[in-house]
A and B are shown apart, each in its own frame.
Chain A
Amino acid sequence: MQGDRAMGEGLLMVMKAAGTVLVLAAGTGAGWVVAQGYARRPVELRALRQALATLRAEILYRSSSLTEAWAEVARRSPAPVTALFQEASERLGTDRAGTAMVAWEAGLKRLAEESSLFPEDLEILRHLGQALGASGREEQERVLALADQELASAEEIARAEREKNARLWQYLGFALGAAVVLLLV
């Protein structure tokens, strides 16, 4: 009887220890995921700006059609930026009744799913999409420059936030896990 109780308490201790580790790991992990988002965002914004520079060259110097220009940018861009241009290019090439804006929106949806970009970053791209292909070279140059400018300031803010928030969220995750453990124990 005594042996059974000791064994039960031992098992409980083991389970508590395992639970503590799990909760701490989950908290740290959650913090790490959020922190990674902050770390990835400026990198993705920089990749987006490079993609727009390629798009600018395709539009202004090669006069490629939008489908071809997007496909070329998709080919040259890293993930997840490539998803935006690949989806948009495929959509515009196959959907005969579709518009460039609809294709671009589909690309943005995929980008939102696959990237750590914030809604305000996507909004800059949405504005750009409304003008892409719909006007002459001068106007295209202007809207691309404007989008680049906006993405550059978003990138700057994202870098500052990364410095500030990435480590904070890592600590916060661990601390949250520890708080939960203390509450439960």
Chain B
Amino acid sequence: MFGWTPILSAILSVLPPRVCTWLERYQARMSEAAGDLEEIRLRAERPVQLVSARREGFLTEAGELVHDAAGAPALRAEEIVETARRASRHSVYAFEEELRQGFLTLPGGHRVGLVGRCVVEGGRVRTIDPVSGLNFRLHRQVTGPARPLLPHLASPFPPYVYSTLIISPPGAGKTTLLRDLARLLSDGEGWGPGAIPPRKIVVVDERSEIAGCWLGVPQLSVGSRTDVLDRCPKAEGIMMALRGMAPDVVVTDEIGRPEDLLALEEAQNAGVAVLATAHGVSWEEVISRPALRDLRDYPYFDRVVLLSRRQGPGTVERIFRPESCAASGSGPRAGRARPPAGRGRSSPSRPSIHMP
């Protein structure tokens, strides 16, 4: 059967049977190269599109990839609807909120994006019916990319984790890096001299991207000391974590709303480090957004990691202390929530840290 079955089994059990047959042929034809598949995109009345890091195209019955859509068989609209029903385990009522947000998560942490006719009620999307397009995004856990960064983002003695913002354009690996950081910090490196000790982590995973939860249980490795608030709004989730779970570190993704910064401030007041991500290509671009303008003046983060795709996803361009942090209290809001002593901000200002 499939060489990639362990990764794809959850997806294969959902895809239309004839697409599974074509994929088997694709796998037999492509052998090892089939393993780097990133997306399987299904559209009504159009052929199946496969996307991987190195190639992209439409899937033929023989398992070949062609660039001309006319050269590959189209899927029927009802096949898309049935696939969406299978993805929701034939239980649309149980996934209403997810459908409203436009995605479902499958066992294994794979994510299925959905499009179609949106049923709007009171200005809000109630559901998508009928579904006319699906994007299966294959999750493969990449372990280890955060290891070289760890000495810059955490200190063994006193045991301390710097609040860090990871900035990157889409597809440059910021969620992968964040997940790996959570895993490394959660599992730690023991308690010996120079080792980063394990920390209690709470992941506030609004879009189920970090832990890939299925029925609330993480499907991706986020560490043994990690608790996950799945599909929880960030600001609310950070407050819930602070109130109930006594974390050392809160991990969340895609900050971008004013209430997110208020929650970050609460975390800071509670002495809890926050690891977060933001879309962008530079620090300047991020702090120019109206909702994130306060980042410029207030030391929410001790470290900023800038990623790009220059040498493939996950290329670390720079790690630096933001000016607000380096200035250590020169901003208009500096009087509030002074960083606790020994949390690193008292160290000499070092605007840029070079990667090993």
Chain B residues with CB under 8 Å of A63's CB are 91, 93-94
Q: How far is the CB of B158 from chain A (nearest CB, A)?
A: 45
> Is B90 touching A135 in the complex (CB atoms < 8 A)?
no
A94-112 residues at the B interface, CB under 8 angstroms: 96-97, 99-100
Question: Quick check: is A140 within 8 A (CB to CB) of the other chain?
Answer: yes
Question: Quick check: is A92 within 8 A (CB to CB) of the other chain?
Answer: yes
B87-134 residues at the A interface, CB under 8 angstroms: 89-94, 96, 126-127, 129
> Is B90 touching A64 in the complex (CB atoms < 8 A)?
no
Q: When chains A and B are docked, how far (Å) is the Cα of A134 from the Cα of B88?
A: 9
Question: Quick check: is B82 within 8 A (CB to CB) of the other chain?
Answer: yes
Chain A residues with CB under 8 Å of B127's CB are 135-136
Question: Quick check: is A125 within 8 A (CB to CB) of the other chain?
Answer: no
Chain A residues with CB under 8 Å of B16's CB are 97
Q: When chains A and B are docked, how far (Å) is the Cα of A96 from the Cα of B127?
A: 24
> Is B17 touching A97 in the complex (CB atoms < 8 A)?
yes
Question: Quick check: is B318 within 8 A (CB to CB) of the other chain?
Answer: no
> Is A66 touching B17 in the complex (CB atoms < 8 A)?
no
Name the contact of A136 in the complex, choosing from B17, B85, B89, B126 (C-beta under 8 A): B126
> Is A133 touching B82 in the complex (CB atoms < 8 A)?
no
Q: When chains A and B are docked, how far (Å) is the Cα of A134 from the Cα of B90?
A: 7
Question: Quick check: is A137 within 8 A (CB to CB) of the other chain?
Answer: yes
> Is A66 touching B91 in the complex (CB atoms < 8 A)?
yes
> Is A133 touching B17 in the complex (CB atoms < 8 A)?
no
Q: How far is the CB of B231 from chain A (nearest CB, A)?
A: 13
Q: When chains A and B are docked, how far (Å) is the Cα of A92 from the Cα of B89?
A: 9
> Is A134 touching B89 in the complex (CB atoms < 8 A)?
no
Interface flags for A63-94 (1: CB within 8 Å of B; 0: not) read 11111010000000000000000000000100
> Is A137 touching B85 in the complex (CB atoms < 8 A)?
no
Chain B residues with CB under 8 Å of A137's CB are 93, 96
> Is A92 touching B126 in the complex (CB atoms < 8 A)?
no
> Is A67 touching B90 in the complex (CB atoms < 8 A)?
yes
Chain B residues with CB under 8 Å of A99's CB are 82, 85, 90
B174-197 residues at the A interface, CB under 8 angstroms: none
Interface flags for A108-143 (1: CB within 8 Å of B; 0: not) read 000000000000000000000000011111011000
Q: When chains A and B are docked, how far (Å) is the Cα of A100 from the Cα of B90?
A: 6
Question: Quick check: is A51 within 8 A (CB to CB) of the other chain?
Answer: no
Chain B residues with CB under 8 Å of A140's CB are 93
> Is A136 touching B90 in the complex (CB atoms < 8 A)?
no
Chain B residues with CB under 8 Å of A97's CB are 16-17
Chain B residues with CB under 8 Å of A134's CB are 85, 90, 92
> Is B85 touching A135 in the complex (CB atoms < 8 A)?
no
Q: How far is the CB of B232 from chain A (nearest CB, A)?
A: 17
Question: Quick check: is B143 within 8 A (CB to CB) of the other chain?
Answer: no
> Is B93 touching A59 in the complex (CB atoms < 8 A)?
yes
Q: When chains A and B are docked, how far (Å) is the Cα of A65 from the Cα of B214?
A: 13
Question: Quick check: is B141 within 8 A (CB to CB) of the other chain?
Answer: no
Q: How far is the CB of A98 from chain B (nearest CB, A)?
A: 9
Q: When chains A and B are docked, how far (Å) is the Cα of A98 from the Cα of B166?
A: 44
Name the contact of A133 in the complex, choosing from B13, B90, B126 (C-beta under 8 A): B90
Chain A residues with CB under 8 Å of B90's CB are 65-67, 92, 99-100, 133-134
A12-27 residues at the B interface, CB under 8 angstroms: none
Q: How far is the CB of A87 from chain B (nearest CB, A)?
A: 15
> Is B94 touching A64 in the complex (CB atoms < 8 A)?
yes
Residues of chain A whose beta carbon lies under 8 Å from any beta carbon of chain B: 59-60, 63-67, 69, 92, 96-97, 99-100, 133-137, 139-140
Closest 3 interchain pairs by CB? A65-B89, A100-B90, A65-B91
Please name 20 pairs of A and B residues whose Cβ atoms are closer than 8 Å in the assembled complex, sorted by A. A59-B91, A59-B94, A63-B91, A63-B93, A64-B91, A65-B89, A65-B91, A66-B90, A66-B91, A67-B89, A97-B16, A97-B17, A99-B90, A133-B91, A133-B92, A133-B93, A135-B92, A136-B92, A136-B126, A136-B127
Name 17 extra pairs, CB < 8 A, besides A65-B91, A96-B17: A59-B93, A63-B93, A64-B91, A65-B90, A66-B90, A66-B91, A67-B89, A69-B91, A96-B86, A97-B17, A134-B85, A134-B90, A135-B129, A136-B126, A137-B93, A137-B96, A139-B93
